[in-house]
Structure 1
Amino acid sequence: MVSSDSASEYYNQPVEERTNLYNDRYNISSLKLMADGSLGARSAWMLEDYSDQPGHTGDPRMTDEEAYTLVKEAAEAGFQVNTHCIGDAANHQILNAYEKVINELGLKDHRFAIEHSQVVALEDIPRFAKLGVIPSMQFVHATSDKNMAEDRVGPERIKGAYAWRKMIDSGSIIPNGTDAPVELVNPYHGLYAAITRMDRDGEPAGGWYPDECLTKEEALRAYTIWGAYAQFEENDIGSIESGKHADFVIIDRDYMNCPDNELKDINAQMTVIAGEVVYTAPGFSLNK
């Protein structure tokens, strides 16, 4: 954990020295806190004992007071706060800390986020939208964890795990990422997981808890405009519109209309960032 003294130099760094860097492609406007560990290692912090390890609730990284203090100091220094939370106790603790700081400082557009929001108590899910806290989730985690997750948390708590549909239906958006290098960096695997809830071998047939699946449009938004919004850049990136950076990719099939099982096999043919072609697949030509 970084102490307040050692963090003060970073907090006090002039905004112009940490934003709009490298032709406006790199901004340091948020910081990340760690509230717990991982579900696989049983270090995610749970409200109740692990179903497959009685007497163990995981490993919290902060006391409630420490969480509140760190969030408040960061917010007062002008930073957005993103906190790693896997277990339902960690999510609950950080929602409480965020709520206290939001109310004390009168924050209106903070866009605080919880990274992963992986196992959340059902009663805490609506709090994300109510507080304006963004559940930043990685869709491939569900398909990677499906073989052990329910063993860890049991049949009731699993209802609030990887709960994308419940989050969206309660009013939240979900910016998605790959969580590389924990997972493969390929974004099309994430799109496939979001829409099918199946792993790349097509298991389980019909999807794992398929009621939590997203639509193709929602999954695409999660990788584009919702991600831009989560980092205060929705006016510059995240969609193809006049006045925004020309960021786009040409792919080898029709994303909206191809069969769901083909999504994982999509390949980029050309990538353009801020109007500059930065990648062209071998043999690809716009003239073909």
Structure 2
Amino acid sequence: RITEWLPFDAPLDELESKRKAHPQSDNMLHTGMLKAFMDGSLGSHTAALLEPYADDPKNSGLPQYDQAKLNEMTKARVLAGFQVGFHAIGDKGVQMALDAFAASTGHVGTGASPVKAERSSAAPTSNSAPNLRLRIEHAQVTTPMEIARFKELKVIASMQPNHLLTDMNWALARLGPQRAEHSYAWAEFVKEGVTLAFGTDYPVEPVAPFRGLYAAITRRSENGKSDYYPEEKLTIDQAIAAYTTGSAFAEFAEKDKGLIAPGMLADFVVLDQDITAVAPPKILQTKVLRTVVGGKTVYEAK
């Protein structure tokens, strides 16, 4: 099933035309959110930071928008009924995204968090404003104040635990200890009551979720030799919820998928082991035996 993301910068009439071509009623291919990039990446020193890089003191990254213009564009697209998601990795990029959402919506958002109640899907609360479930993609470097604003503005934190296993080799050098302490801050988001939606960020990272699950519950390198602020790790139930009910909620699909229950789409996989019971390193070795989409087997291991 594919949810098509459209370019935020495209003209509104073009976006509306594409939305009509792939309506929400098609659960195999439909238009989802509009995506824009607030900044780059930590690895390339282009993620936008509020203060300079610890290992590059003359550089604070590359913000991609003028804030006033971003606010104007976001408001126009929100008023047109589009869900908006902003790639933001640095804390400056996150601030830009939150400021645009705040200026454009007056607390448009998600409602309750499905991750806080482990392995359950939470229905959105009623809201006088349109329920657009605005999102920030990645949100790797945040401040406690920004996490509180996610909650206040009811913005979804769409994150990919995979990235930590790649980035932990140099993230501390890029950020310094004070900022690193609040990076990849999954537990802080959950504690604050923010909706977490996990994914893989394929093809940047492997498409299978098992590496991300391992990262989420251990925050430990794959060779087991180094940890990265383990106080931010999640339980296995919280991590699974973020990948399933959280992600379904983030794309308005919580009535169709994210759980195995009567009336749902019957999309699921059969694994070769119980990932809730094995030691965390063994999760990395998990194999898919069978994939079912809409109740039909579409893959079976030989």
TM-score, L = length of structure 2: 0.87
Instruction: Work out which of the residue numbers 138, 152, 174 in structure 2 matches 1:130.
Output: 152
User: Counterparts of 1:20 and 1:166 in 2: how far apart (Å)?
Assistant: 33
User: Counterparts of 1:87 and 1:102 in 2: how far apart (Å)?
Assistant: 23
**Structure 1 equivalent of residue 261 of structure 2:** 241
Residues 137-177 of structure 1: CA distance to partner in whole angstroms, max 9, x if unpaired?
10011111011111111110112210000011001121111
Question: How far is the alpha carbon of 1:10 from its aligned partner?
Answer: 2.4
* 1:161 corresponds to 2:183: yes
* 1:200 corresponds to 2:222: yes
Q: Aligned in 2, Cα 1:177/1:203: closer, same or farther, shift over 3 Å?
A: farther
Question: How far is the alpha carbon of 1:108 from its aligned partner?
Answer: 4.3
Instruction: Work out which of the residue numbers 4, 8, 14 in structure 1 matches 2:12.
Output: 8
Kept after mapping to 2: 8 A contact 1:19/1:29: no
User: Counterparts of 1:151 and 1:46 in 2: how far apart (Å)?
Assistant: 14
1:60 corresponds to which letter in structure 2? P
Q: Aligned in 2, Cα 1:256/1:50: closer, same or farther, shift over 3 Å?
A: same
**Structure 2 equivalent of residue 37 of structure 1:** 40
User: Counterparts of 1:196 and 1:169 in 2: how far apart (Å)?
Assistant: 17
1:178 corresponds to which letter in structure 2? T
Kept after mapping to 2: 8 A contact 1:18/1:29: no
Question: How far is the alpha carbon of 1:130 from its aligned partner?
Answer: 1.5
1:31 corresponds to which letter in structure 2? L
1:248 corresponds to which letter in structure 2? F
Map residues 44-193 of structure 1 onto 2, 5 A cutoff. Answer: 44-103=47-106, 107-193=129-215
Deviates more, 1:116-125 or 1:79-88: 116-125
* 1:215 corresponds to 2:235: yes
Show structure 2 runs of 5+ residues with no match.
Answer: 1-6, 109-127
More contact order relative to length (CA 8 Å, sep ≥ 6): 2
**Structure 1 equivalent of residue 118 of structure 2:** none
Deviating beyond 3 angstroms after TM superposition, the runs of 4 or more aligned structure 1 residues are none
Question: How far is the alpha carbon of 1:225 from its aligned partner?
Answer: 0.8
Instruction: Work out which of the residue numbers 248, 270, 273 in structure 2 matches 1:250.
Output: 270
SS in 1 for 2:145: helix
1:128 corresponds to which letter in structure 2? F
2:222 corresponds to which letter in structure 1? R
Kept after mapping to 2: 8 A contact 1:11/1:74: no
1:9 corresponds to which letter in structure 2? D
**Structure 1 equivalent of residue 120 of structure 2:** none
Question: How far is the alpha carbon of 1:200 from its aligned partner?
Answer: 2.1
Identify the structure with the greater helix proportion: 1
Q: Aligned in 2, Cα 1:104/1:237: closer, same or farther, shift over 3 Å?
A: closer
**Two-structure CA RMSD over aligned residues (Å):** 1.8
User: Counterparts of 2:12 and 2:105 in 1: how far apart (Å)?
Assistant: 21
How many pairs were matched up? 277
Kept after mapping to 2: 8 A contact 1:122/1:159: no
Question: How far is the alpha carbon of 1:233 from its aligned partner?
Answer: 0.6
Higher Cα radius of gyration: 1
Show structure 1 runs of 5+ residues with no match.
Answer: 283-288
